[in-house]
Amino acid sequence: MLNPATPEFLDTLRDRLPEAAFRTAGPEHLEEPRGRYRGAGLLLAPGSTEEVATILKACHAARIGVVPHGGGTGLVGGQVMQGGAAPVILSLARMDAIRDVYPSENVMVAEAGAILADVQQAARGAGRMFPLSLASEGSARIGGLLATNAGGLNVLRYGNARAQCLGLEVVTAQGEVWHGLTRLYKDNTGYDLRDLMIGAEGTLGVITAAALRMAPVPAASGTALFQVASPRAALDLLALARDRVGDNVTAFELMHRQGPEFLIEAGLEARVPLDPLPEWMVLVELGLPEGLAPEDSLAAIFEAAVEQGISEDGVIASSQAQAEALWAIRETIPEANRRIGSISSHDISVPLSALPDFIARGGPALQALGEVRINCFGHLGDGNLHYNVFPPEGRDRGDYEDIRPKVKEVVHDLAHAFGGSVSAEHGIGRLKVGDLERYGDPVKLTMMRAIKAALDPNGILNPGAVLRG
Amino acid sequence: MLNPATPEFLDTLRDRLPEAAFRTAGPEHLEEPRGRYRGAGLLLAPGSTEEVATILKACHAARIGVVPHGGGTGLVGGQVMQGGAAPVILSLARMDAIRDVYPSENVMVAEAGAILADVQQAARGAGRMFPLSLASEGSARIGGLLATNAGGLNVLRYGNARAQCLGLEVVTAQGEVWHGLTRLYKDNTGYDLRDLMIGAEGTLGVITAAALRMAPVPAASGTALFQVASPRAALDLLALARDRVGDNVTAFELMHRQGPEFLIEAGLEARVPLDPLPEWMVLVELGLPEGLAPEDSLAAIFEAAVEQGISEDGVIASSQAQAEALWAIRETIPEANRRIGSISSHDISVPLSALPDFIARGGPALQALGEVRINCFGHLGDGNLHYNVFPPEGRDRGDYEDIRPKVKEVVHDLAHAFGGSVSAEHGIGRLKVGDLERYGDPVKLTMMRAIKAALDPNGILNPGAVLRG
């Protein structure tokens, strides 16, 4: 059992921490963005790894829970603890330095509180790119992005957050510092604790800094939006593109017409420049070596797709502004979704070849529950769909509260039946603890609990996230 | 304390395992290739995951050690236990099926005993490639390659064994089966036990099968051998190549002239087609999208390198045969090394920008110990050098036994001082347990021991490998 964090407990830390570490928790620390979790807790905002260690040592000794807090943009309640003994909310926001950039190594070392957009900017400043890119990049912080193994738009080519990380600095539950900030591309000395910490959502240790890979900037990039006959045709198009340019396909995003229709309904500006609006379309981005014009490569791919009956219409961006306008369609859909208000949102993945069947079966299964609209879009090349369910136009999500659990169950059962995942990139947090218990492999769960007990015997780290406390 | 495996113990398994599982251990199971470890033990060769589970359940109950055995090609003694209670040697060789190939997903599922060359072949049969490639690919098996997180020639572009794996089937120390054979590119449901098992060298579980990624075959590939003025010039050449073709550089191998000189001395055929023989040279391979001629890209890179004073000589392969002849130089060096006989071999990595200084300081430090020859070659793009030390021509390694520990210490101390690793791709096994204790982060070691105790409380899995028993 954990003890609550009290002002008296914080007072015991005042001689070991500077005044700046003591702050008042705001709404951003006590609520998650969708409003599903509301928590309590006392805020500490350490300014250094040593201060994080001091706090954890004290919390470990006093058996007080610690909820690490980065940008607060997570979608599964991993950053807010609702109920139970009030924890220390450990904000990493003050530790936002880019400690070093090593352009000749394609490496940078950033503290956990560094905002993703600032990390991207630092890479650009060194003539490189940091490939992780997602909707909340203006506020999401590196520590949280790694703790949740965030995904986003460039996973197809560059991998998720895990693949961008070479080394970590981590404070353990006991308040010891693991100095694992290696800038090495290869290091086979002992267990891969880096990848264990990545994706553990702050339940096994607190990430305080990371050595990150930067990537070379492609000599030229090109963007196109192609109509496709079906989700299966979209997969065929991906295969066709890869046959020609290998894995220089940097993004491959599927959109059902529901997404662009929501843009109109929600009064947002982005528009699809294809008429008629296709039922299915894909946004393709190539990043190519010197000597190739992306427009030519995209035109050749389109021509072959037309010949094979995969596509009938499309537009290839001929300027940076046109490319950005195409990307705006895809990137504005989440905002449209928020405005429309979903009954239930899902972040599923299935094996690539099962995607068309998943989509074909999902619709009828959901319509059997009631009249709903499905906005199916996402990272097709990764097998990852944001498969979100909405009320009909003019109806409110509030009217559908009764079927919400059933909607989620139908979608998750179907993904699971295809060998898929019920959390492709958002993590477990607190929202999907039950899903993990329901769908997860029991032997894996047993091992996870054993590791949690071994590394955090008092159970202070992000209590109730990932594993039931 | 562990109990020895006895014939009587094996007899207790005869009603639960088929006759075919009972075999006699041969020299390949009891000695490692360099002859540094000789072990004892009784061989079991299960034919299925269930049989592996049966064996582990029994060994766990009887507290009998289990040494997993794949192709037996490891270089650090991870596959042979010398001393202690005789273990069960668990050969995965009979489990060599490619269970399934999913070309449209770029995924294949292979059993642990599948030989790397067969996995490569299966990928080629599906119009794809399996990028892992190394000298022992004709005998190394997938289970061992994953357990040791093997590296090799294509890590620069495709990553090491870890990066090729989507999912694992693992039998735990207790004989339970974790069914983690997912074909998903994204799955953020719980701790990353896949990557924990990869690189754990059979000390946390026994890998029985893996879901592996295949990669698209580049539309065209090209190979060149360039003289470079120095190791620093080699790094400049890598940066220059990446500025032009991004990460379509698939291999970037540094060779000091000592390697080609050893080829001659050892009576091997491969020859460098540059005269005079350069002191330093790099083997470059590009894998490019459709529309580019690799010879042209390589010529443009060479031209820029000459202009910048990076290189003065080079040869670009104009046929597959010429490319293979260039690769033969690099790939025959390990055999030349074996014939010459090293005093001490090292598999170090350092941050890329520290490589030139490491090389500059290593030579004098070693020459201070005695007259030696250094064959420095390896995966420059990964910061990984095989930095091997030999006696002068005509002298025998046997005469240098007294300085061998000191040679190793000098090289490892130097790599460590640069923030490097003393095992970039070979792992810890039994050979480097002391190195891990000497150079490893103490907090990491504490966490490793806690995880080992949590997952294998009786300590039966590969006793004495990675962590002292």
User: Which tokens in the block code for residue A21?
Assistant: 């570490």
Q: Which of A155, A190, A351 sits opposite B105 (nearest CB)?
A: A351
Phi-psi region of A175 (alpha: psi -120 to 50; beta: other; left: phi over 0): left
- Token reading at A356: 């068309």
DSSP annotation string for A67-109: EEESSS--SSSTT---SSSPPEEEE-TT---EEEEEGGGTEEE
- pLDDT at position A469 is 79
Does B448 sit within 8 Å of A193, measured CB to CB? yes
Percentage of the residues of chain A whose pLDDT score is greater than 90: 97
Answer yes or no: do A245 and B289 touch at CB < 8 A: yes
Q: What domains are defined for chain B?
A: 7-91 (3.30.43.10), 98-216 (3.30.465.10), 220-339 (3.30.70.2190), 341-417 (3.30.70.2740)
pLDDT tens column, B176-203: 999 999 999 999 999 999 999 999 999 9
Tell whether B160 is within 8 A of chain A (Cβ): yes
Strand order in the sheet with B88-91: B42-44, B88-91, B66-69
- Report A:203-232 residues touching B (Cβ under 8 A): 204, 215-219
- For residue A293, the Cα-to-chain-centroid distance in whole angstroms is 32
Q: Is A244 within 8 Å of B421 when comparing Cβ atoms?
A: no
Pairing of strands B280-288, B249-256: antiparallel
Whether the bond between A68 and the residue before it is cis, its omega within 30 degrees of 0, is no
CA distance A112 to A134: 17
Tokens representing B216?
A: 């698209």
d(CA B311, CA B278): 10
* B104-149: pLDDT as tens digits: 999 999 999 999 999 999 999 999 999 999 989 999 999 999 999 9
The answer to whether B427 contacts chain A (CB < 8 Å) is yes
Does A382 contact B at CB distance below 8 Å? yes
Reading the block at residue B253, the tokens are: 């191998």
Residue B149 forms contact with A (CB below 8 Å): yes
Please answer yes or no on whether A191 and B192 come within 8 Å at the CB atom.
no
Chain B residues with beta carbon closer than 8 angstroms to that of A353 = 102, 104-105
Chain B: give the shortest CA distance to residue A449, in Å: 9
| Cα–Cα distance for residue pair A116/A15, rounded to 1 Å | 33
Q: What is the Rg, in whole angstroms, of the alpha carbon atoms belonging to chain A?
A: 23
Give B380's contacts in chain A (Cβ within 8 Å).
none
How far apart are alpha carbons A406 and A70 in whole angstroms?
32
DSSP B2: P
Q: What is the pLDDT of residues B401-422, one digit of tens each?
A: 999 999 999 999 999 999 999 9
Q: Which residues of A touch B434 (CB under 8 A)?
A: none
Q: How confident is the model at residue B32 (pLDDT cuts 50, 70, 90)?
A: confident
Closest by CA position to A253, among listed A334, A197, A149? A334
What residue type is B308 in one-letter code?
Q
Q: Parallel, antiparallel, or unpaired: how do β-strands B206-213 and B88-91 relate?
A: unpaired
Residues B39 and B27: their CA atoms lie apart, in Å, by 9
Q: What does the pLDDT look like over B268-316, one tens digit per residue?
A: 999 999 999 999 999 999 999 999 999 999 999 999 999 999 999 999 9
Structure-block tokens of residue B75? 């270089």
β-pairing, A42-44 vs A88-91, is: parallel
Q: Could you give the maximum distance between any two Cα atoms of chain B, in Å?
A: 74
| C-alpha pair distances (Å), A197 with each of A454, B170, B453 | 14, 20, 18
* Spatial distance between the Cα atoms of A199 and A428, rounded to a whole number of angstroms: 9
A424 contacts on B by Cβ (under 8 Å): 184, 186-188
Calculate the CA A436 to chain-centre distance. Answer: 17
Q: How far apart are CA B175 and CA B61, in angstroms?
A: 10
B459 within 8 A of B66, measured Cβ to Cβ: no
Tell me the shortest Cα–Cα distance from A267 to chain B, in angstroms: 32
Q: Which residues of chain A have pLDDT under 70?
A: none
Chain B environment of A163 (Cβ under 8 Å): 159, 163
| DSSP β-bridge partners for residue B22 | B44
- Contact A188/B151, CB-based, under 8 Å? yes
CA A76, distance to chain mean position in Å, is 10
- pLDDT attached to residue B35: 81
Q: Give the closest of B218, B352, B383 to A246, CB-based.
A: B218
Packed helices A258-265 and A320-340: angle between N→C axes, nearest 10 degrees? 80
Question: Over 90: is that where the pLDDT of B29 sits?
Answer: yes
Is the ipTM here above 0.90? yes
Q: What is the nearest CA distance from A193 to chain B, expressed in angstroms?
A: 7
Q: Cα–Cα distances in Å, from B13 out to B7, B58, B65, B174?
A: 10, 8, 15, 16
pLDDT, tens digit, 9 for 90 and up, residues A109-152: 999 999 999 999 999 999 999 999 998 999 999 999 999 999 98
Residues facing A410 on adjacent strands: none
pLDDT band at B34 (very low <50, low <70, confident <90, very high): confident
Tell me the count of A-B CB pairs closer than 8 A: 305
| Residue in A185, A291, A447 nearest the CB of B178 | A447
Instruction: Find the closest chain B residue to A104 by CA distance.
Output: B353
- What pLDDT was estimated at residue A179? 98
